[in-house]
Structure 1
């Protein structure tokens, strides 16, 4: 399982250095140490940046570096008044969304009752349904509300936290007493509350305090007698007043030879009050020592030096100081209330904290009765051994495991809702000359079994009458204005001008994307060339592939080189709720461009094909309609003719085979011949051959003519090179019609079942293609059997009903996971029934969202600080950086990192901004295409500067904030060059 531990209990100022902070840190470390096969991820609040490095250090040997994640609250939220409700709830939604993105099987909140007065943010199911366990320390303010919740703001805040506690799936109590409190006072089901106990840290153990250290400690704290120790805070329930009164009631002779030491932080008013109380009850000043704050190392020594430890509290969630003293082997006496008896584990050591005389009697005995004191010391070590962080961690992990076993949180097939949601279907449709249009026409009736569908069209005409009759048609403009009425949206994206309107539409209205072509560079380049969107291709190149791609675009001899090289699809992949592909080739391409995790959550669904029957009668009619004789042997290649389809290779192989010599053999290219040199060369080769009368290029055909050629063909040949991630529908058409089909193992065609096609190598020879043509020409049985197998494969694997069902499952899955997307988060916040905050709060929230929720496929960055080089507000030695070196580094191709020059801007909202205008002016002689936004940064990014580390750390905290978020800070002592960057990247990989 993946367990996310919310570490704010070890971060907040109120808890970090107290028992809750120690508990949070120690339990988390033990869970990491004994996690077994489980994955542990720590979630850290970026508002407490000063604590992050310390926590990372604590876990350095326990967890990999990528197990630390940082999120940021949306502005000041740690105040109970209603003026901060918007920021608080926004922060709760943002935190839950951040955690939900981590896909945890359980999130463990180490301290839920945090945030009254600081920027700690804890919540359960404010916006996300994530299984949640909460450490339950106690319900003291609820049980004793008349004392602790007199302040209406405190009461409002605490009751809000109680509602979150009630929504938790598990409450992990630190004692049996706390467990029973939840059952009794909150009505929690017993099975939901598990006692996982607690422990003392390993540095609490019996030790011999060296004389010099003892002398030093006694001098610093004024300890000149054997002493009774108390630690644990000054609070009404701690009963320090009762302890002082009880101690003062001891015989004067006993008090003269002992001291009472109260070791904890004490406010001045409390100090004066307690001293006045002691004086009123006859204690001399030296008999009561109030130490104020005691460092941890001193506390361990004081435990070991004390004659006895007393714990008079009348309500504790656990009573950790008593256990710490016992772990040091001291005689411990304490209250007989709440959790303390189960900690001390000895009835003889207990007293009634509400009866001063009871405390006095037990104090007197432990100080005077040496056998009793020795007995308690021996018992302390045995009892303390019953508690350990290993035990607590294993109990916690076991509780989580049991919960998941009983609740069966294993992944299940998602069901489409009983009522059909309204689906906006954005795709070209016939009569547009697009394979995607034809495909959509086949998918629509099957998908309509699961959704009410309205089609969103930019085209003027809609061909098939049945589509016009069955589906409501909407314009793109209408959809922009009314998209909120739809439950789901699906886009069919391809690399042609039929899809130009979809890019901006997807930004405005997220939905599921069917990625028919992995490369979308062609349509984006077309938009730029035609002036529809000037600079849009360069923007897309930069966004998808960084400055290296922009530099190539500007220096390439022909733009086609860059079109073929770069997919330019990052914006679509990032804006989509989810991606459907038709071939694993697209997923492999995504990983090659965007990293090993890219495409991991995509759904691969075969292209559906309506099964057809191709009996001889239909074939004969089709041949007659096409002017082909029944005795002719017909080889067809389907689709637009261009260099990527290798039509010239087929033509050459056919002309070199014995088919060219047989006047009954016909070669037909069923499709439009692309314009240009390649098209002209095909036409000339046909005209120059001796078979010009038996070789046809049909030009564009309507669907009926296309089907007629499929019925008429004996052999289909579909070849590819330079695949752009598309799936060949024409191959599936040939197979569907039972046509024996020759392919080469390139791109998606390599995934075809080898028994359903004649599969040649990707880099096949002319001889191999000639052999394939000749064999299928000569061997009719082999040809027919191959066609039958192909038809059966399409009928099973590409069944329309099955494919549509998988579409519906994928759409619902993506709709569900989209709850953690930025658009969904913003929409949720916008729907809150609260008055809108001011502009400053909105900016703070936007900044927090940017820093917390990384967009999909975001690669780590190398942030080059070129402030002084670019003439911005920053000082430094320019010898290490030159513009030539920076530009040279930008040309580096790296799948692992984006290289981004940045600069320091003192008047900006955040002090560092991307130096896009400066760089574009240097490489493209324009600064009007890209904008200098505030930088986004996060874990795994690298900052490279040129100043002394001690200097850059003083820049308004910007670098420290970056460091707290996991950015690695590097200051070069050598000149920047490509080798330096390569070495840094290589070292990070290792």
Structure 2
């Protein structure tokens, strides 16, 4: 069977090159192998004498039965491999789970490559937003950008268990990875002979193997050596490698010179024989990483194989190394490492013999190749994605409390979720009704300078999750008034169910049904239609309060979980405002249900009685009589109406006023009160069940409009810096947790 093998090859300065030489010796037992390489003339003669080597221009997939790619971060060695792999599916040995380093340079190879497109493809809006907010160096440490090569493969091999953890973290799925250990043939080192050849026979040799660069923490190792063993004439520290970062390397040498450190050796690049000579001579190896992003470490396994004691911070190898949890422990470890640590060395050697046997590892690779080609299905990174229905705010931000809730929750989910989240909205285009991706809305809302988002009709996929986060009833839209009802009529939810989709709806309240007197004449009818449609869909419901849950249970729903709303505005610096007189605050859409008229009457009465107390009302004008609208728009001595304010200014009002007044006759939640509590405000609230449920003992309650006057007149602030409430990030995590548990 003909196999095309893609990899760096000797004499490339790459650990993958050395890995391939070892793997090929065993892989040739199962396949006729042809090596695909950028420039065959530059390949080491020993390799060319053993295998056929052709260029990428000569390669044709139809001439081979199997394709095996080695993928790492070095753009010089892997650019053509990557281009070929995404066009011709095969098996990929993913030596680095993070390909962000490779992607940062790929535009030099492919002028049509757009890093923003690649980030969006791998990490959606969350990744793209972080890309624009941070330097690429910072961003690249947190986002692997590897989805495209994975989803254009039949199988992915990783050598590290850390990669499995990372796959679970970023994609909630590790099934697309197959863990096969890095192969190593066991050897018996002759340390004394090697030390003699290096003229170091009377020394305890400490070595650092691997490319000299910041992530390997060579600077930190040097600092620790300077504070521990620099004056030990029997010890020597050898940096057994070269570098591609000349500035970093020169800084190390300058530090050695400035601190008069005599017992340090820097080698040049080592050929294979030289490398193994230093491994044989080494007593203690120091192998560190600033961050572990799933890279395979052949050097670490070589240290185990050559029976070196290894000082390491690799969490997956705690049982086989002298493990240090932080860099501050290194100085002590260097001084004491040779004291009774031979069992660690024996355990590490046994690991090589039992888990990294070359024939066993290669057989596992062969088995995966054959199994994957038998199926010939491209991999899927995401088991599921969340279709987030934001139909109302995507059409028009009504600046109501619910609209603000939806935006805050949407932002929190996009911020924290590594699940693939696709905001969608119901619309009609060219006479066709359906759900469409809301990429244009998200990009404009978050000021993302990115144009290649998706705004096409939603394509339903197996395993999708539908989450109706919004309040999708439009009183003024002539084509349809309920997105859910219209979507149900055209069979959208039947299609979801045929794809085994989980369906969730957030129900903020059903007040138009339970308190119809406060809403437009047809609101009750529309909400009954909406609730009946949801009953037919039979989803899982998320209620924001016990009251809403109770109301829903009265209408026969039983799959309900309460997840309270968040109460913070993200990263807002609040400015304290000094008021001359006691000043109270009322926040919410101006409507009969919220009883702002009763609050105003109370403050007018206080003014008439010569009691100094001011009122600030914040909220858009809603369903209220014209006389009251005119009153609010006029100037008054102790009452000020603000139609719209920024979130920052609203938080300043929360923290600076005497108390916030919640006088609603009925509510589904009462977000302004919870927000105000979060910022240390005091609450005066009508004594209704939902406020008791949400606020508990953290409020002063009044029974009716008459008692409101006495409460305000005699009120004494109990202001505190204590924050009450939860964050939107917590709310988002609880929702995502519920969704994941149900998968």
TM-score category of the 2 structures, normalised to the smaller one? 0.5 to 0.7
Name 2:429's counterpart in structure 1.
Answer: 906
**Matched-pair contact (CA < 8 Å) for 2:176–2:381:** no
Matched, 1:473 2:53: yes
Name 1:544's counterpart in structure 2.
Answer: 122
Please list the CA deviations of residues 316-364 of structure 1 after superposition, one character each: whole Å capped at 9, or x if unmatched.
xxxxxxxxxxxxxxxxxxxxxxxxxxxxxxxxxxxxxxxxxxxxxxxxx
Q: Displacement of 1:707 after TM fit?
A: 2.0
Please list the CA deviations of residues 759-788 of structure 1 after superposition, one character each: whole Å capped at 9, or x if unmatched.
22333533xx344433455x6xx5777656
Matched, 1:929 2:448: no
Q: For residues 2-81 of structure 1, what are the structure 2 equivalents within 5 Å?
A: none
**Matched-pair contact (CA < 8 Å) for 1:590–1:599:** yes
Name 2:585's counterpart in structure 1.
Answer: none
Please list the CA deviations of residues 687-742 of structure 1 after superposition, one character each: whole Å capped at 9, or x if unmatched.
22232x32122243332322222123222221223101112211111222232322
Q: For residues 439-838 of structure 1, what are the structure 2 equivalents within 5 Å?
A: 439-459=19-39, 461-479=41-59, 482-497=60-75, 498-528=77-107, 530=108, 532-533=110-111, 536-556=114-134, 558-595=135-172, 598-600=173-175, 602-615=177-190, 618-620=193-195, 622-623=197-198, 628-657=199-228, 659-673=229-243, 675=245, 679=249, 681-691=251-261, 693-744=262-313, 746-750=314-318, 754=319, 757-763=320-326, 765-766=328-329, 769-776=330-337, 790-816=348-374, 818-819=375-376, 821=377
Relative distance call for 1:910 and 1:822 in structure 2 (3 A) is: farther
CA distance in 2 between counterparts of 1:902 and 1:947 reads 9
**Matched-pair contact (CA < 8 Å) for 1:488–1:511:** yes
Matched residue SS, 2:201: coil
Name 1:859's counterpart in structure 2.
Answer: 384
Q: Displacement of 1:667 after TM fit?
A: 0.9
Higher helix share: 1
Q: Displacement of 1:533 after TM fit?
A: 4.8
Relative distance call for 1:905 and 1:571 in structure 2 (3 A) is: farther
Structure with max Cα Rg: 1
Q: Displacement of 1:516 after TM fit?
A: 1.1
Count of residues in correspondence between the two structures: 510
Q: Displacement of 1:911 after TM fit?
A: 3.8
**Matched-pair contact (CA < 8 Å) for 1:911–1:958:** no
Q: TM-score, normalised by structure 2?
A: 0.61
Q: For residues 185-204 of structure 1, what are the structure 2 equivalents within 5 Å?
A: none
Matched residue SS, 2:141: helix
Q: For residues 153-172 of structure 1, what are the structure 2 equivalents within 5 Å?
A: none
CA distance in 1 between counterparts of 2:27 and 2:431 reads 50
Q: Displacement of 1:886 after TM fit?
A: 8.3
Matched residue SS, 1:510: coil
Matched residue SS, 2:68: strand
Q: TM-score, normalised by structure 1?
A: 0.47
CA distance in 2 between counterparts of 1:929 and 1:884 reads 22
**Matched-pair contact (CA < 8 Å) for 1:637–1:668:** yes
Q: Displacement of 1:459 after TM fit?
A: 4.6
Name 2:472's counterpart in structure 1.
Answer: 947
Q: Displacement of 1:468 after TM fit?
A: 1.3
**Matched-pair contact (CA < 8 Å) for 1:645–1:721:** yes
**Matched-pair contact (CA < 8 Å) for 1:491–1:514:** yes
Q: Displacement of 1:860 after TM fit?
A: 2.5
Name 1:970's counterpart in structure 2.
Answer: 505
Q: Displacement of 1:553 after TM fit?
A: 0.5
**Matched-pair contact (CA < 8 Å) for 1:646–1:719:** yes
Name 2:490's counterpart in structure 1.
Answer: 957
**Matched-pair contact (CA < 8 Å) for 2:79–2:109:** no
Relative distance call for 1:572 and 1:924 in structure 2 (3 A) is: farther
Please list the CA deviations of residues 147-180 of structure 1 after superposition, one character each: whole Å capped at 9, or x if unmatched.
xxxxxxxxxxxxxxxxxxxxxxxxxxxxxxxxxx
**Matched-pair contact (CA < 8 Å) for 1:727–1:749:** no
**Matched-pair contact (CA < 8 Å) for 1:503–1:572:** yes
Matched residue SS, 1:929: coil
CA distance in 1 between counterparts of 2:735 and 2:279 reads 56
CA distance in 2 between counterparts of 1:569 and 1:541 reads 9
Please list the CA deviations of residues 79-116 of structure 1 after superposition, one character each: whole Å capped at 9, or x if unmatched.
xxxxxxxxxxxxxxxxxxxxxxxxxxxxxxxxxxxxxx
**Matched-pair contact (CA < 8 Å) for 1:638–1:718:** yes
Unaligned segments of structure 1, at least 5 residues: 1-420, 824-854
Matched, 1:429 2:9: yes
Q: Displacement of 1:983 after TM fit?
A: 6.1
CA RMSD of aligned residues (A): 3.5
**Matched-pair contact (CA < 8 Å) for 1:636–1:670:** yes
Q: Displacement of 1:570 after TM fit?
A: 2.2
Please list the CA deviations of residues 273-319 of structure 1 after superposition, one character each: whole Å capped at 9, or x if unmatched.
xxxxxxxxxxxxxxxxxxxxxxxxxxxxxxxxxxxxxxxxxxxxxxx
Please list the CA deviations of residues 841-886 of structure 1 after superposition, one character each: whole Å capped at 9, or x if unmatched.
xxxxxxxxxxxxxx34233213234487369xxxx97855579658
CA distance in 2 between counterparts of 1:700 and 1:574 reads 36
Matched residue SS, 2:486: coil
Relative distance call for 1:424 and 1:981 in structure 2 (3 A) is: same
Q: Displacement of 1:463 after TM fit?
A: 2.8
Relative distance call for 1:583 and 1:689 in structure 2 (3 A) is: same
Name 2:653's counterpart in structure 1.
Answer: none
Q: Displacement of 1:612 after TM fit?
A: 3.2
Matched residue SS, 1:774: helix
Please list the CA deviations of residues 528-548 of structure 1 after superposition, one character each: whole Å capped at 9, or x if unmatched.
4x4735663322322222211
Q: Displacement of 1:524 after TM fit?
A: 1.0
CA distance in 1 between counterparts of 2:290 and 2:8 reads 26
Matched residue SS, 1:892: helix
Q: Displacement of 1:682 after TM fit?
A: 2.6
**Matched-pair contact (CA < 8 Å) for 2:154–2:378:** no
CA distance in 1 between counterparts of 2:425 and 2:472 reads 15
**Matched-pair contact (CA < 8 Å) for 2:309–2:322:** no
**Matched-pair contact (CA < 8 Å) for 1:860–1:897:** yes
Please list the CA deviations of residues 191-214 of structure 1 after superposition, one character each: whole Å capped at 9, or x if unmatched.
xxxxxxxxxxxxxxxxxxxxxxxx
Relative distance call for 1:502 and 1:907 in structure 2 (3 A) is: farther
**Matched-pair contact (CA < 8 Å) for 2:392–2:471:** no
Matched residue SS, 1:672: coil
